[in-house]
Amino acid sequence: MLLSMVLIPLAGAVLLGALGHRSAGLWCNIAVSAATLCAAGVMTARMLHDGPFTAWHHELFVDPLNVFLVDLTALVALSTAVFSRTYMRAEVRLGHLNPARLGVYHAMYQIFVFSMLLALISNNIGVLWIAMETATLSTALLVGLYRTPAGLEAAWKYFILCGVGIALALLGTIMVYFAAHSVLGAHRALLWTRLYGVRDRLNPAIMTIAFVFLIAGYGTKVGLVPFHAWLPDAHAEGPTPISAVLSGLLLNVALYAIVRFKALASAGTVTHWPGRLMIGFGLASVLFGAFSLGGQRDLKRLFSYSSIEHMGLATFAFGLGGPLATFAALLHMTAHSLTKSSVFFASGEVAQSEGTKDMDRITGIMDRNPALGWTFMGSALAILGTPPFGIFASEFLILIAALRRAPWSVPLLILALCVAFAAIFRRAQAMVFGSAAGPRIPTSPSLPVPLAHLLLVLVLGLAMPPLLAAWYTEAARLIAP
């Protein structure tokens, strides 16, 4: 069952590598993504019925922490594939993309989905590292898909910086293995399920050094300050669907790896330094991301700095620890993934119809296409944490947890959230409600995709499904007992 979930996108990548440049490739990409989501649903049903389980000689596993992230990844991957069908076809029609490169796009897209799912369900910390490196290689090709000078520069910057980061993560992984080898033996020292059982017996000095390398390595993939330099360029220059999955999926999976290692490193120390390290990196990212928003003119770059802010907020919450903060962080990861993909979908439609990403040249969207105007404005308000959307609920819970565990940080968090709100709302309001300039914008058939994401985020804020709340609660108990 678990093998089929990762083999479906892998087989789809091979098929799309040969057929992806044809018109049927757009539909085939959707079909493969839908099959992956169905497999994830079967896996979830098994987990709900039988509880956590391992498979394939304990190399794969499912528990309450990774199961909802797998479902979220498969869901966003499918919605992005649906959005890609019309968006990428329009890019070819407008001359922005050579039709032959659609094969590369579809094949690398499925390789990316494969690597994310493998990273989430792998019980082997070495395989996790390999999966994250595979994600880097596949998405580097996607970031530079347009072959423009800026796109190629962004792809190389992404590849080099994340390559250095993943090398640091490898060093940290080796040190964790070294700390566990004497306790568990050769092979079992790589398995999450075995490591978690002996986490209080791991050498604290080695785990201390290992976690520093791990948070620097995987933190580069998360986009934590000061390892964030690749993120704005990669999000701004790559195709819009890739910006959506980079922000909505890759950052989540990298943070998942940090949280898993934090649960190991925290058990052997009484100083709670892993959590304090995450609080420091998270708070720095929140402040830097928020104060960087005001000087942006590129539409996609604006929301890429918002990703730095939001992932910093989730990292900060995981660093606080405790059931409430961890619950809030998991909710924030989910709401951010759905909302940020919606924001990038709507932004891509705006930039494609206007022929520019320069926000100073975009105005009057509401008068020329009310459906797109409301979708874009709704997405912007949702990512800003406006009630009653899900991000408002998660940010409110994070602030409550911070009042209990780190009250000194609350004024800084509120300041950052207010600055971010003012910066993005000022830009969004001018683009949507400014004086109309230019012809009417045609409504895209893919517009229901960001609207569906907004509806899901609204549900998270108004009435969270009990099953999802139970997942969050159990996952919080697992990593923050």
In a domain, 411, yes or no: yes
In a domain, 266, yes or no: no
In a domain, 148, yes or no: no
pLDDT, tens digit (0-9, with 9 covering 90-100), for 443-461? 677 788 999 999 999 999 9
pLDDT, tens digit (0-9, with 9 covering 90-100), for 258-303? 999 998 888 766 567 888 999 999 999 999 999 999 888 889 999 9
CA distance 363 to 380: 15
Total of domains in the chain? 1
In a domain, 330, yes or no: yes
> With 0-12 CB in 10 A as exposed, 13-18 as middle and 19+ as buried, what is 371?
middle
- Find out whether 191 and 124 touch, Cβ atoms under 8 Å: yes
Domain that holds residue 442: 272-481
In a domain, 158, yes or no: no
Question: For 63-79, what is the mean pLDDT?
Answer: 92
Q: Which helix (H) or strand (E) holds 61?
A: strand 60-62
> With 0-12 CB in 10 A as exposed, 13-18 as middle and 19+ as buried, what is 206?
middle
Give residue 411's region: left, alpha or beta (phi > 0; psi -120 to 50).
alpha
CA distance 291 to 311: 15
Q: In the predicted model, what is the mean pLDDT of the chain?
A: 89
Cβ atoms within 10 Å of 472's Cβ, excluding its own: 23
pLDDT in the model for residue 48 = 87
pLDDT, tens digit (0-9, with 9 covering 90-100), for 147-181? 889 889 999 999 999 889 999 999 999 999 998 88
Q: Please report which confidence band the pLDDT of residue 481 belongs to, taking 50, 70 and 90 as the band edges.
A: low
Residues contacting residue 25 through CB under 8 Å, at least 6 positions apart: 16, 19, 102, 103, 106
Q: Please report which confidence band the pLDDT of residue 189 belongs to, taking 50, 70 and 90 as the band edges.
A: confident
pLDDT in the model for residue 269 = 60
pLDDT in the model for residue 437 = 66
Residues contacting residue 32 through CB under 8 Å, at least 6 positions apart: 8, 9, 11, 12, 15, 16, 81, 110
pLDDT in the model for residue 358 = 86
In a domain, 337, yes or no: yes
pLDDT in the model for residue 112 = 93
pLDDT, tens digit (0-9, with 9 covering 90-100), for 319-358? 998 899 999 999 999 999 999 999 999 998 888 888 888 8
pLDDT in the model for residue 268 = 62
Which amino acid, 35? A
